[in-house]
Amino acid sequence: MKGSYGILVQVVLLFGIFPSLAQVEKQYDSTARNHAALISTDRVKLLNDIDVLANMQFNQYNRFANGNYSESNFAMNQFRLEIKGKVSDKVYFRFRDRYTRLPDPQSRDVISRSVDLAFIRVDASPKWNFQFGKMCADWGGYEFDQNPVEIFEYNDLIENSDNFLTGMQAQYVSSPKHAYTFQVLNSRTKTFAELYGSIPGVDESKFPAAFVGNWRGNFGKGKFTTLWSYSVFLEAKRKTMNYLALGNQLNLKKLTIVYDFKWSAQDIDRTGIVTSIVPDSFNPYAALDVRYVEHWLELRYRLADKWSFQVVGMMSNAYWFGNQQVEGNSHLRTSLGINPTVEYYPFEKVNLRFFATYVQRVYDYTPYATQQFGAADFNTSRISFGFVSPLLIL
């Protein structure tokens, strides 16, 4: 009886389930064929004014430290999804999120640190436009102006900076050859305590703001262009950071020469390199009165339609003028870098390139830093290959 009862239950369930499955299948077909499209025809036209890009840099890394092989791995070094476009003739937007950074909301601007850009632009006239939101600090220099996926190694200042800040921007385009930008931004994404801790005699500013002025120039029909800026950051009461960046680019037939000079005077060590050199036993707080002076040179040569070669050289010097214990030994470190790269463009209509690159960094400490702080010279290098693409999806 138990067996017959079990068979009866299975038969009832079988005849009960099959009609249900048929009904589900019918509903699915009905929805696919008869319901309205998710995006109506009149709104499809809006997509013509929107771009969606996947900014990617994929690497196969082989790393070395002081000349000795250390490790290899695959990595999606950069993946930044970008959406930009216009919603009217005078209103534009841009959003870019980095998926290779932790999405931690920041205490100052209350937006995820992984978000590079989230702003709108309003064109008030043919010569004036305004931006509001999180944007690039318009620091000048071509190293920072490039798409991040095209950079394999940054020099020290940009590598250790908050490059995307929240605030407002006004731009005046005086002519097709010259544009001037002024920004008022948060000077940082974190609070003073989160960034510096406590420093005796230093009080936090009530409005830690950054003021950035930028000039873009164009001469000789684009043969020589400039990207200069000067910035003042209010880090604390009577404590500022001044930053000068002078970017210069010479465009020849197949050769492009780019040179950036950068100088940063920091009442409090925002970059953090000097602070990392000085041990806590000598100075347990963020270093005061530091300087960074940098040079960045890039040569790009188009070998053929589908091949190009570029080499980047960089130098950064770190100084500690606020050393109260020993005077006359402000220079602590020089870092050097070399980065040759070969790129191959297989497709004419797709911005996709494959590359092979070599990066070497040498960190040379002065005798004073070595003897007083125990700093030791070292070098790193890596060989990698992969692909780069600001891939236009839509």
Residue-wise pLDDT for 330-359, tens only, equals: 999 999 999 999 999 999 889 999 999 999
- C-alpha 177/C-alpha 189 separation (Å) is 33
The band of 38, judged by pLDDT with boundaries at 50, 70 and 90, is: low
Amino acid in position 262 = K
d(CA 30, CA 382): 57
**Phi, psi dihedral angles at 66 (to 5 degrees):** 50, 40
**3-class secondary structure, 206:** coil
The tokens for 382 are 């890596």
Distance from C-alpha of 227 to C-alpha of 298, rounded to nearest angstrom = 15
The residue type at 361 = R
pTM: 0.87
pLDDT at 37 (0 to 100): 58
Question: pLDDT digits over 106-132, tens only?
Answer: 888 999 999 999 999 999 999 999 999
pLDDT at 2 over 60: no
What pLDDT sits at residue 8?
A: 39
Residue 208 CA to chain centroid, in angstroms? 22
pLDDT of 3 over the 80 cut: no
- Mean pLDDT, the chain, rounded, equals 89
pLDDT in tens, 197-210: 999 999 999 999 99
Q: What percent of the chain has pLDDT over 70?
A: 88
pLDDT digits (tens, 9 = 90+) for 135-157: 999 999 999 999 999 999 999 99
Tell me if 134 sits within 8 A of 210, measured CB to CB: no
What integer pLDDT is reported at residue 36 of this predicted model? 55
Q: What is the largest CA-CA distance in the chain?
A: 102
Give the model's pLDDT for residue 39: 64
pLDDT digits (tens, 9 = 90+) for 239-297: 999 999 999 999 998 999 999 999 999 999 999 999 999 999 999 999 999 999 999 99
- Which has the higher per-residue pLDDT, 18 or 57? 57
pLDDT class for 28, splitting at 50, 70, 90? very low
Rounded distance, CA 327 to CA 83, Å? 52
Instruction: Tally the residues of the chain.
Output: 394
Q: What value does the CA radius of gyration of the chain take, rounded to a whole number of Å? A: 27
- 19 phi and psi angles, rounded to 5 deg: -60, -35
Which pair of structure tokens corresponds to residue 208?
Answer: 């830690």
Residues 6+ apart with CB under 8 A from 346: 306, 352, 354
Token pair 């960094």 is found at 361
Strands 91-98 and 115-123: antiparallel
Tell me the C-alpha to C-alpha distance, in Å, between residue 31 and each of 39, 41, 80: 15, 18, 35
Token digits of residue 278: 């000085």
pLDDT tier at 41, thresholds 50, 70, 90:
low
Report the alpha-carbon distance of residue 260 to residue 253 in Å, rounded: 21
Spatial CA neighbour of 292 closest among 143, 149, 157, 146: 157
CB-based burial of residue 150 (10 Å sphere; 0-12 exposed, 13-18 middle, 19+ buried)? middle
User: Are the C-beta atoms of 269 and 247 separated by less than 8 Å?
Assistant: no
Cβ–Cβ under 8 Å, residues 101 and 114: yes
DSSP 338: E
Q: How far apart are CA 354 and CA 375, in angstroms?
A: 38
Name, in order, each residue with C-beta under 8 angstroms of 194's C-beta and a sequence gap of 6 or more. Answer: 107
pLDDT of residue 327: 67
d(CA 359, CA 376): 20
